[in-house]
């Protein structure tokens, strides 16, 4: 039985996952700020435009214009794709009242309805969906993450989407932010960063991809102006390249636990 797979459009990435993401999968794209989640997602959509899929990009932390500009830097004309009815960008940041594709309220029901509306507008057929990011929808209630993720997947499953759901990660733990998507997701692509000899390096590792014999190696990636993201050779990853000093890590963990358990900060000021 052969599985239909969608190319990610990122040079060197598809071969790590037997040619692409299985059609219909919901894949979590996780990582700290600036690791490449949005740029990876932009490639996925650009590839969809190229091959004639229907494409929807939900953006919560950047405006629609910002996504269009970022895509243009790598030679992808998202504005034209929008004009030609191949792409809808749902802007959940700006909340423009006069844009029918703006999401005025940041809640999961509105989100799902808007996505279905966009799919109907784009028409029948294989579709790609990016929700960048999912974490925006449970910022003030991290305990809901898993339920929301499950709901989104269950409702949207019928609409022939292959989806990337991005999520920022707490640096030290997956408390609160990641767990929601990760159990529900058919795949997990994790981006990482580290400073090596004074230089910022970025990496990607596939932590999970159902029905796929995927690479188990950490690969270095690069983002090149005018070209976009590219996967380089596998890397000998050393833990100390990406790990925070333990004192910082411990304090972040404590802060997250307090938030989750809703314990107020203590009265005295901690040293910063």
Ligand X SMILES: Nc1ncnc2c1ncn2[C@@H]1O[C@H](COP(=O)(O)OP(=O)(O)OP(=O)(O)O)[C@@H](O)[C@H]1O
Site for ligand X contains 249 (CB under 6 A)? no
Helix, coil or strand: residue 172? coil
131 phi/psi in degrees, rounded to 5: -115, 110
- Separation between Cα atoms, residue 249 and residue 245, nearest integer Å: 6
- Separation between Cα atoms, residue 153 and residue 108, nearest integer Å: 11
- Separation between Cα atoms, residue 89 and residue 100, nearest integer Å: 10
- Residue 31 binds: one of Mg ion, ligand X, none (C-beta under 5 to 8 A by kind): ligand X
Could you tell me the smallest distance in angstroms from the CB atom of residue 73 to ligand X? Answer: 4
Retrieve residue 19's tokens: 């040619």
Q: Beta 127-132 vs 219-224: how paired, if at all?
A: unpaired
- Separation between Cα atoms, residue 185 and residue 208, nearest integer Å: 9
Residue whose beta carbon is closest to ligand X: 38
Site string for ligand X, 41-80 (x = CB under 6 A): --------------------x-----------x-------
Site for ligand X contains 160 (CB under 6 A)? no
Q: Beta 228-234 vs 219-224: how paired, if at all?
A: antiparallel
Only one residue has tokens 């590839």, namely 47
Site for Mg ion contains 168 (CB under 5 A)? no
Selected from 33, 85, 95, 123, the binder of ligand X by CB under 6 A is 33
Residues 24-83 that bind Mg ion (CB under 5 A): 37-38
Site for ligand X contains 168 (CB under 6 A)? yes
- Separation between Cα atoms, residue 122 and residue 87, nearest integer Å: 8
Selected from 1, 2, 98, 225, the binder of ligand X by CB under 6 A is 225
Site string for Mg ion, 1-30 (x = CB under 5 A): ------------------------------
Q: Which residues bind ligand X (CB under 6 A)?
A: 31, 33-39, 61, 73, 168, 223, 225
Q: Which residues bind Mg ion (CB under 5 A)?
A: 37-38
């Amino acid at each position: 039985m052969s599985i239909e797979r969608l190319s990610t459009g990122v040079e060197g990435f598809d071969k790590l996952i037997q040619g692409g993401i299985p059609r219909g999968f919901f894949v979590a794209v996780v990582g700290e700020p600036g690791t490449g989640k949005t740029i990876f997602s932009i490639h996925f959509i650009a590839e969809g435009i190229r091959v004639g899929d229907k494409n929807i990009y939900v953006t919560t932390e950047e405006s629609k214009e910002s996504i269009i500009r970022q895509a243009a830097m790598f030679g992808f004309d998202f504005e034209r794709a929008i004009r030609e009815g191949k792409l809808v960008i749902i802007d959940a940041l700006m909340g423009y009242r006069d844009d029918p594709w703006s999401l005025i309220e940041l809640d999961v029901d509105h989100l799902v309805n808007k996505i279905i509306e966009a799919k109907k507008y784009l028409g029948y057929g294989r579709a790609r969906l990016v929700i960048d990011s999912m974490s925006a929808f449970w910022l003030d209630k991290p305990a809901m993450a898993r339920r929301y993720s499950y709901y989104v997947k269950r409702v949207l499953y019928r609409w022939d989407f292959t989806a990337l759901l991005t999520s920022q990660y707490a640096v030290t733990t997956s408390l609160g932010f990641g767990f929601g998507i990760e159990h529900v997701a058919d795949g997990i692509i994790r981006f990482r960063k580290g400073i090596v000899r004074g230089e910022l390096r970025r990496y990607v590792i596939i932590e999970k991809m159902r029905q796929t014999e995927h690479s188990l190696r950490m690969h270095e990636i690069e983002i090149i102006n005018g070209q976009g993201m590219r996967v380089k050779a596998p890397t000998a990853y050393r833990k100390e390249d990406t790990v925070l000093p333990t004192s910082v890590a411990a304090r972040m963990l404590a802060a997250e636990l307090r938030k989750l358990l809703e314990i107020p900060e203590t009265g005295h000021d901690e040293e910063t």
